[in-house]
């Protein structure tokens, strides 16, 4: 059963281009699969990206253009923290 999305992103890409080079909708798409596929799969998908949530400079450029009004910089920090916490807790990445 599919869980509710963690980030209410429509994947419209209005937030792009990111000055730091993040593929924001792709990061959110991968993160939104966490409850369905687990940390190992999500971490594997994140590792395929050139830039990661922790590369966010929190400049706010993306947030000015987000039609869903997502606090993108904060979400990138939360994603980074959650994935790091699970790695430290011994989750199988």
Distance of alpha carbon 72 from alpha carbon 60, whole angstroms: 8
Confirm if 19 and 60 have CB atoms less than 8 A apart: no
| pTM of the shown model | 0.87
Q: What is the pLDDT of residues 13-64, one digit of tens each?
A: 999 999 999 999 999 999 999 999 999 999 999 999 999 999 999 999 999 9
Of the candidates 5, 27, 8, which has an alpha carbon nearest to the alpha carbon of residue 16?
27
Confirm if 57 and 43 have CB atoms less than 8 A apart: no
């Amino acid at each position: 059963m599919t869980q509710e999305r963690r980030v209410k992103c429509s994947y419209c890409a209005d937030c792009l281009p990111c000055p730091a080079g993040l593929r924001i909708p792709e990061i959110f798409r991968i993160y939104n699969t966490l409850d369905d596929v687990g940390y190992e799969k999500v971490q594997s998908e994140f590792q395929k990206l050139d830039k990661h949530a922790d590369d966010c400079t929190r400049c706010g450029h993306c947030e000015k253009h987000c039609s869903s009004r997502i606090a993108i910089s904060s979400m990138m920090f939360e994603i980074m923290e959650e994935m790091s916490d699970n790695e430290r807790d011994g989750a199988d990445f």
